[in-house]
Structure 1
């Protein structure tokens, strides 16, 4: 697959967690009967909410009207909704595509697919705010980084975001959220605009807890020998991680956390399933579980949020024990 196809898959799985399959090159039997001018397109398919969708990787030459006719013809031949995938768009180009009724996707930016009932915009709309109930995954990850690592000095938001694998634009949206929640503020140091916590870490954490989302999007069960525990991006999670950090007994079943886009990459290289292999729990997270880069477990704050609804009294006592050790 091309880098753009990989980015498309990661973006779809991020904005539609649990509803999107893997992006794959269009099956040969579908492409074989296409007219030559359509068969030369970069075609992929993906399952979205149990519906098959065709993806056309652009750009390709031609006027907007020609693009619309070509995509309409392709949709008719394949009998599938077609989405035009582009690396980037100027604002006026986006408006032209929408006005022309062309369904399109820009990874990390926007999905416009009326046939699927979707018009999901990121760069072109204000980010989710704390008033909507929860922090976005990127805002939560940046806040946790500040609480655990960056609380002693101001930081440029884009630098923090880069450490976590986010873009500068994502950092801008996250900062707006965190400022609206009165958890951080911006100050100018020389020519640099920096962010820092308004209060000390512990009171900030107490105020932020009601806004924190469970990072776990879904759980999968995978044979132990099918994936390498030492891969970059995988961390010990769940009760396993809590047992590592507290006096809680180690569970029999191991749990691991991995960010959704990273998991998609890992799956491509996994061997076939072995029915005799021991199953382990894979938690698919909305943001990277690698906020603390040199740890084997997920960070303690994400761990607490992921387990706070566990009804086991022993687990809740262990969480209290863990919280007391923070910021000593």
Structure 2
């Protein structure tokens, strides 16, 4: 209790500017119900004395009920003309009710409402720490892949990115938040606007790698003839074979944004096993066509889609492709 008294005195002095002394326990007889809920003390502030009402039971405390109990307290104690409720860690909604009912109180370390002293204070809520980013959202990864493929040549706003990548401005704003939180790119503020600045690609790739994931969400097998020519974007080992000495796979592999599958599935039926004329269709978390070149997915996304392969031929071909990149 002594520690609580000291905390109370320090808190009131700091907020209200008055030195206060928490005096001795008042032994005036009270009904048993009130004794179970409250302890009464004398509070000395300057040349004035206040009745300090310490809450023993915070869980059952209700401001409306307290006002009825207070009437009983005044019947037994007459030497004070003012009082203050003393507590710790009282729920916020209860404190709000006390303010509304003009009940003076001190929630030690958190809030002080004491009109008699002309003082009121409430501790500001601390801003929540930003969430720890372990893997980027698909939209954020799309922004970084866009930057790695030379899409960001000058500072760009979330609104502009939304227009270029097919997302909403709000989604691009969240993408910039993620990028800024793990310091992958520079984000500059100018008034109310934020700009994503171009970065050196090699350093960006190195720093972003731990946060980037396989862009392939799912794989469907369909008849190749059911895939429109303008959607046949080479991916996987098909794309890797086109730019290396790797042999083409038996089934062609293509990439498509997952959002487009619902429409395509109305005309393209899935096939359970490999057969003559079938192909594999990778459904991606983001739109691979945005960064495609020469009819195949971009090298960074291709690397991410195949980086867990344990085939030495694939690993070797991937490394050679990355070595050829112009940083």
The question of whether the paired residues in 2 share the 8 Å contact of 1:217 and 1:286 is answered with: yes
Aligned pairs for 1:307-322 (under 5 A) are: 307-322=306-321
SS in 1 for 2:219: strand
Question: 2:231 matched to 1:217?
Answer: no
Shift of 1:244: 1.6
Question: 2:169 matched to 1:171?
Answer: no
Shift of 1:229: 3.0
Structure-2 separation of matches of 1:273 and 1:209: 34
Shift of 1:188: 4.3
The question of whether the paired residues in 2 share the 8 Å contact of 1:146 and 1:196 is answered with: no
Structure-2 separation of matches of 1:259 and 1:149: 21
Closer, same or farther: CA 280–272 of 1 in aligned 2, 3 Å: closer
Offset from partner CA, 1:155-203 (integer Å, 9 cap, x none): 1222123222110000011110111121112224688531114x41101
TM-score by length of structure 1 reads 0.55
Unaligned runs of at least 5 residues, structure 2? 1-127
Closer, same or farther: CA 278–143 of 1 in aligned 2, 3 Å: same
Shift of 1:240: 0.5
TM-score by length of structure 2 reads 0.55
RMSD over aligned Cα, in angstroms?
Answer: 2.6
Higher RCO (C-alpha 8 Å, min separation 6)? 1
Aligned length: 198
Question: 2:234 matched to 1:236?
Answer: yes
Aligned pairs for 1:32-51 (under 5 A) are: none
The question of whether the paired residues in 2 share the 8 Å contact of 1:226 and 1:273 is answered with: no
Structure-2 separation of matches of 1:150 and 1:189: 22
The question of whether the paired residues in 1 share the 8 Å contact of 2:221 and 2:270 is answered with: no
Structure-1 separation of matches of 2:270 and 2:184: 46
Shift of 1:256: 0.7
Max Rg structure: 2
Partner residue in 1 for 2:52? none
Partner residue in 1 for 2:299? 300
Aligned pairs for 1:1-328 (under 5 A) are: 131-188=132-189, 192-197=193-198, 199-231=199-231, 234-270=232-268, 278-292=277-291, 295-328=294-327
SS in 1 for 2:290: coil
